[in-house]
Structure 1
């Protein structure tokens, strides 16, 4: 650290929970404070609920940075665009939330850790917001940025993950009068840590 940095900034350079350098890898992958590990477990549990054939590995920094390039194919070689999109959403949104929670904890909350329930609620809210964004993006008003309702529904980005899915009307994607949300029973379970 530079000598002209304030004491406060110098203090923030080291994680108060495990006394490691507070760099991007630490924040997104290695920090032992409640937050990022639970976030990745929730993401993994959602992925496993959706894709029992494609095993979830906890992402390392390289996977997080390169998630936009993910290519998921069936055994016949056909791209699974719904699975690719869900994977990209999970990695991008989960890493952003881990970063955001770290900043809030360190800068706003005087290093007071979040509770597991707070982290889980924030993650569930974030994923439900993305589901609602996908629904809104099916409006033709978005022009070239329009998302096909078929991609949201038929290619099954969210299929198997929604509350009371069997009772949703066929037009749940475009019908704004339908309340849709993701199941929130993705309680913690530990898995292998990817690096």
Structure 2
């Protein structure tokens, strides 16, 4: 779904533009979404007009035209499937459902209501953090020529990414330190409930005092 195509779907367009301003999404990922929406990344057909670089039009793993849709939801290079498998495993802990977002859902920052604010918020976090990690892994392989990422490393990087996000959420419940920007403890607990090791401790204590890890992997 390109920025031109989106003009035919005004309601979808509004949702997608809002994703670039959503405060549940980190600033670096909001920029990633902005670039994704504006087709700002140099992939696929961009390289047709660059002398000696036409080979970059094609994914060197899959042998098909490389697009952001292909990179984030279809590519068979290590990274795409493995990251979404982990995200889906965590989403099943939360809701009992799989998580396999299409490119439009990624562009919209995963903004879909899921019955309660916590599940809705976790959906946004999982989709945006996972898509951004897939993009980084792809760039390391294609631009930095690091080769295919080891599966164990992919798993560990995803776990670190999500655990870092959990730690930020817990820290942001400190009203003294963050004032009006602080998060409600109830929202943080609702976001991560059913996904953590140490669940009882999270329910009993203030989130910012709890050392917990996501129960995936």
- Equivalent of 2:54 in 3, 7, 10: 10
Deviation per CA, 1:127-174, whole angstroms, max 9, x where unpaired?
100100101111223333221111112xx2112221233355722412
| Structure 1 position 60 matched with structure 2 position 68 | no
Distance 1:145 1:15, change over 3 A: same
What's the CA shift for 1:31? 0.5
Aligned equivalent of 1:81: 117
Per the alignment, residue 191 of structure 1 pairs with none
1:1-195 alignment, distance < 5 Å = 1=46, 5-7=50-52, 9-52=53-96, 55-73=97-115, 80-110=116-146, 112-140=147-175, 141-153=177-189, 156-167=190-201, 170-175=204-209, 178-185=210-217
Higher relative contact order (CA 8 A, sep 6+): 1
**Higher helix content, 1 or 2:** 2
Which position in structure 1 is the counterpart of 2:10? none
Provide structure 2 residue ranges, at least 5 long, that are not aligned to the other structure: 1-45
Unaligned runs of 5+ in 1: 74-79, 186-195
Residue 104 and residue 45 in structure 1: after superposition, are their counterparts in 2 closer, same or farther (change >3 A)?
same
For 1:72 and 1:115, the matched residues in 2 are separated by: 34
Q: How does the TM-score come out when normalised to structure 2?
A: 0.72
Measure, in 1, the Cα distance between the counterparts of 2:84 and 2:48: 36
Distance 1:133 1:2, change over 3 A: closer
Kindly tell me: are residues 29 and 18 of structure 1, through their superposed partners in 2, closer, same or farther at Cα, counting changes over 3 Å? same
Q: Distance in 2 between matches of 1:42 and 1:31?
A: 16
Aligned residues: 171
State the secondary structure of the residue aligned to 1:174.
helix
Aligned residues of 1:25 and 1:61 also touching (Cα < 8 A): yes
